[in-house]
Chain A
Amino acid sequence: MGLFDRYEGLLEAYRDVRTTGYDPFQIRMERVLSPTEAIINGRKTLLVGTNNYFGLTFDPSCMEAAIEAIRAEGTGTTGSRIANGSYTEHVALEQEIAEFYGKKHCMVFTTGYQANLGLISTLAGEGDQLLIDADSHASIYDACKMTQAEVVRFKHNDPSSLEARLRRLGDRPGNRVVVLEGIYSMLGDSAPLREFIDVCKKYGAYVIVDEAHSLGALGDNGRGLCESAGVLDDCHFIVGTFSKTLGAIGGYCVSNDPDFDILRVTVRSYMFTASLPPSIVASVRQALKVVKAKPELRTQLWSNVATLYEGLAAKGFKLGPEHGPVVGVHLPDRMIAIGFWRAMLDAGIYVNVAVPPATPNGVSLLRCSVCAVHTKEQLEHMVEVMTGIARQFGVLEDRTLRVVGGAH
């Protein structure tokens, strides 16, 4: 048996995708011009698929901070925090994030993926029960493969499904650890966090909330769903990333647990990888200041979300269940999704295409992520372009028929 024989089905699907033209998994940005524009295939392209929610990748103050840090401390740390020591700035960043959440402790990771992977697999150990949402991110699923705990899935965003699973555990020994996400990355929907917290309290379960897509976007201070749902104190661990709203890379975890620091010598994805370079730490610290100082970015983001979501909804597109910084557009199948995606790229608009098995319930999606610095005109143009392509693909057919029917 050849090494890749087991991927035969996947290879076939991948070949299908590539024969349609550009390979969506190997898109090359020839030159990135701004948070919202890049040159792709030689043409200026509108970016609506970069998770760059506040557009801070080109914020002059963040860029300056990063450049200054490189001049002062070099390009990299070349080692892990445990083996090679922390820089003063790593510790300062951790203090600033802890303060941002009003929590006592913070630990910074090199990526958000590693934060979930390490934290979840370490917190839930042998004899414990880990309960995860069915639509959890890959980093959460991968943590489940590493843990010795029993793992059970509950139905997406369904507190009663979680409750049934906690109830079934009865008086069995072991910690119950529940993992939730603030905003889910495929359809942009938020967890009913308050209801989940009530269930967790009833059964004495610990709660980890991943705010990767909600940091900056939700809450009066941008702390995420924990803040907007008013349950900051009830979330035992909050995880997040620097790679979206904060425009860099890295992950974090905050908590009030008095023994939090034991994680620094138990979480392997923290211990055995190089720490964040000075430039990233510096730009993230500055980005956090920008998030605090400019709440108008949040207002602008949601106003843009409304423009895109309501614009597409009015044309008859089937969308994710609610407004979110991610707007998921449902398409009938994989090949239409890929064809649609390619037609958009030809028209100068870049979004993400998401197809099974990477999507919940086998759906095929165009995944659009909105940026605070998109202009209304850019997004209105996008709605027009998508409507035109949808007509070509016959995706909006039903609605047209209804309209015709209504005219009789």
Chain B
Amino acid sequence: MIVETDGMTETLERTRVSGQSRAEVIREICRHLAPFQTGERPITGDTVIAKDLTIDSLAIMDMVMELEDHFDISIPMNVVAEIHTVDQLADTIQKLCARR
């Protein structure tokens, strides 16, 4: 599994604000998505969750619930609907953690 390391400066910046490093957030997301990985293609920040993986919409919502409890945030369903990639999900989690 490849964890995105682009934009490191920005990541460090966010880390200070939110207390959740981007690498940590991505790692947690990938941990939940790993069972739905197809073939040899690794899960990256660009992975389109509903398309590139074998995860259905209900399982995505259940995964979001797990992530919510892990990071002690709530991600409203209408926000989830706008999230397509792993990066976008990580962005949302970091943003909500920072607001906590």
Interface residues of B in 46-100 (CB under 8 A from A): 56-59, 61-62, 65, 68-69, 72-78, 100
User: Looking at the complex, which one of B57, B61, B72, B100 makes contact with A153 (CB distance below 8 Å)?
Assistant: B61
B78 contact set on A, CB distance < 8 A = 150-151
What class of interface size applies to chain A in its complex with B?
A: 10 to 19
Against B, the Cβ 8 Å flags (1 = close, 0 = not) of A129-157 are 00000100000000010000011111100
Q: Which residues of B contact A150 (CB under 8 A)?
A: 76, 78
Q: Which residues on the A side are within 8 Å of B100 (C-beta)?
A: 168
Asked whether B76 lies within 8 Å of A152 as measured between CB atoms, the reply is yes
- Provide 9 A-B residue pairs closer than 8 Å at the C-beta atoms, listed in order of the A residue: A134-B61, A150-B76, A150-B78, A151-B76, A154-B65, A155-B65, A164-B69, A168-B72, A362-B59
Residues on the B chain within 8 Å of A152, using CB: 68, 74-77
A220 shortest CB reach to chain B, Å: 36
Specify which of B56, B58, B61, B74 is in contact with A169 (CB 8 Å cutoff).
Answer: B74
Tell me the minimal C-beta distance from B60 to chain A in angstroms: 11
In the bound complex, CA of A134 to CA of B58 (Å): 9
The CA of A12 and the CA of B69, in the complex, are separated in Å by: 35
Nearest B residue to A150 via CB reads B76
- Interface residue from A153, A164, A357 paired with B56 (Cβ < 8 Å): A357
B-to-A contact residues, CB < 8 Å: 56-59, 61-62, 65, 68-69, 72-78, 100
Chain B interface, DSSP helix/strand/loop, else mixed: helix
Contact with B58, one of A164, A165, A168, A357 (Cβ below 8 angstroms): A357
CB distance from A151 to the nearest CB of B (A): 4
B65/A134 in contact, CB under 8 A: yes
In the complex, what residue of chain B is closest to A132 when comparing beta carbons?
B77
**Given the complex of chains A and B, what is the CA–CA distance between A169 and B58 in angstroms?**
24
**Given A134-B61, A150-B78; A356-B73 close (CB under 8 Å):** no
Q: Are B72 and A151 closer than 8 Å at their CB atoms?
A: no
A26 interfacial by beta-carbon distance below 8 Å: no
Decide if A19 is an interface residue (CB 8 Å cutoff).
Answer: no
**Residues of A contacting B69 in the complex (Cβ-Cβ under 8 angstroms):** 161, 164
What are the 10 A-B residue pairs with the smallest beta carbon separation, nearest first?
A150-B76, A151-B77, A152-B74, A168-B74, A165-B74, A357-B58, A357-B56, A152-B76, A151-B76, A153-B65
- The answer on a CB contact under 8 Å between A362 and B74 is no
- Residue from A151, A152, A165 whose CB has the most chain B CB atoms within 10 Å: A152
CB-CB under 8 A for A144 and B77, given A134-B65, A362-B59: yes
Q: A99-125 CB contact bits vs B (8 Å, 1 = yes)?
A: 000000000000000000000000000
Residues of B close to A154: CB separation below 8 A: 65
Return A316 CB to nearest CB of chain B, in Å: 28
* C-alpha gap A150/B73 in the complex (Å): 14
Give CA–CA (A9, B62) in the complex, Å.
21
In the bound complex, do residue A356 and residue B56 qualify as a contact, i.e. CB atoms below 8 Å apart? yes
Chain B residues within an 8 Å CB radius of A164: 69, 72
Within 8 Å CB of B72, what residues of A?
A: 164, 168
The chain B residue sitting closest to A165, CB to CB, is B74
Q: Nearest Cβ distance between residue B38 and chain A, in whole angstroms?
A: 14
In the complex the two chains form, is A356's CB within 8 Å of B74's CB?
no
